[in-house]
Copies of this chain bind each other. A is one copy, B any other.
């Protein structure tokens, strides 16, 4: 079935807001097994909206419209749809009650324009919005479905999850089901990974499983999509292939679907009741920032020292001056001392550290930009590793952070 997305709003056209709604809807709809053929952005202008609906109606089965459902005068989507479907607005008592509750619970005054959001086109089915006052609407015209949703991403996603996905799957009727699973890997480039898993990949085709490589800095995601008649047996088949993959690249797979490296490491630390502190040079606080972005991280994260100068490495982390002098700040000796000492300073179970040349300047023939040392220290031992990254500062910081967290992850699952 063919699907298209129409996003309404000037702020999208002039680049004030990036159209993440269309990307998110496209991704989800694709996962459900629909084909997305067009995504259009237009103004809040009646004629442009009607022309876009006409065009979409001619070529698609499902049309998802976002935006223009707010309470102000420039929001005209609902009125335009009412006219387009030759219907009229009627007060929906239940929606009105929800809107009044929504505002009362938040101690906000209710304006007439908010109450008017309970006026719903007679011919549509309401898709209730538990996160705001603009209802979603589901229209049908000669078998073509039009779904109108608010433009606020949080509200749009709520209605999609609560009501739209299940209805779309039902629409597909007796067609096959599709199950997707994303495997997240770190530590092997796309082409190298492809080489290592070649024979495994070859077998997928016979099983109606599709594989997509989705590379981003430091991460290659492998998305598997299985097409089958029955959910349970398809899931079992998919899982058996994931198990086989795990044997091929045991150190690289750090999570699935929406997992993040910092989330996976945090869960392991919580589970094993271990604490962590970090000593960062070239990553400049990025690792600490990643970990503390997780709510509740204070239960296992003691803190960090960012030592951006040689002096601070010795003053704050007791790294031996002579060792810095002899081997340089970007060296195995220094990064290991940093990890050991930051563990002791914060009384943590684990200490991790980074020292490198993030670039774009600061490289030498001996240690070019992108040379990074990382280390993980526990009570028993210190392990360290040298990375040879590229010339992009932001990317080097990001990949170094992922790498040392992965090194820690591998230690945590061993113990």
Contact = CB atoms under 8 A, between A and B. Distances in A.
Contacts of A292: 283-286, 306, 308, 397
Contact of A286 (B43, B289, B315): B289
Contacts of A346: 309, 312, 315-316
A311 B347 contact: yes
A214 B16 contact: yes
A243 interface: no
Interface string A348-370: 00000000001111100000000
Given A38-B42, A315-B346, A316-B303, A19 B22 contact: yes
A361 B296 contact: yes
Contacts of A20: 18
A290 to B, nearest CB: 8
A37 B26 contact: no
A312 B351 CA distance: 14
Interface residues of A, number: 69
A74 interface: no
For chain A, what secondary structure do more than half of its interface residues adopt (helix, strand, loop), or is it mixed?
Answer: mixed
Nearest to A342: B316
Contact of A284 (B27, B289, B358): B289
Nearest to A316: B345
Given A19-B19, A22-B41, A311-B347, A285 B295 contact: no
A64 to B, nearest CB: 13
A312 B287 CA distance: 18
A130 interface: no
Contact of A285 (B48, B296, B306, B347): B306
A25 interface: yes
A323 B305 CA distance: 23
A293 interface: yes
13 contacts: A12-B26, A15-B28, A19-B19, A39-B41, A40-B41, A285-B288, A285-B292, A295-B358, A295-B393, A303-B306, A304-B305, A306-B306, A311-B347
